[in-house]
Amino acid sequence: RNNYTKNPKRVVCYLGTWSVYHKIDPFEIEDIDVHRCTHVNYGFAKIDEYKYTIQVFDPYQDDSANPWDKKGYQRFNNLRKVNPELTTMISLGGWYEGSEKYSDMARNPTYRKNFVDSVIAFLAKYDFDGLDLDWEFPGSRLGDPAVDATNFLELVRELKTAFEPHGYLLTAAMSPGKDKIDLAYHIKELNELFDFMNIMT
């Protein structure tokens, strides 16, 4: 699913799953044009602020644990049956998730390990091809420590190491603003670790 020989251009699409709740013209998973996108990111999963593990954001919409759940993850990954070359990712974070608990997780080696282990289990359980990090943004919100950028880099290193035996993709949604880039990212090092980065414009 990650072979770009035929078409090296990536078209990365994000699904904002809250769109299913729109009263006028809701957008469902099956509305995604799977032949226009090469990669689709399911937005969003979240972090548990006590255990620092990846969690389902909206169990009713996303999960399939109960008969009444809408099985969003399963339906999303089933899009690969329509286009076998499609890559499906879970995107973690988003603006409304905040930044504080990401800072707390990334600064603590034990919390980082808990998080990385939980991501591996999550990707296997729900059959995603990889993780897209959408922490908005390391070091750039009021009260965030200046060490966020270094901790973010260490988190990405640990995720990359854990992903390699499984073949999972690791990507991120990144700010295009120089003010945030200077605070949030060690670009040269991250460029060696991420499979690719999605620049928000």
Which amino acids are annotated catalytic? Answer: 136
Residue 29 tokens read as 């998973």
Strands 169-174 and 39-47: unpaired
Residues 6+ apart with CB under 8 A from 47: 53, 54, 55, 92, 93, 97, 101, 102, 105, 115
User: Phi and psi of 2, rounded to 5°?
Assistant: -115, 30
Distance CA 134, CA 97 (A): 9
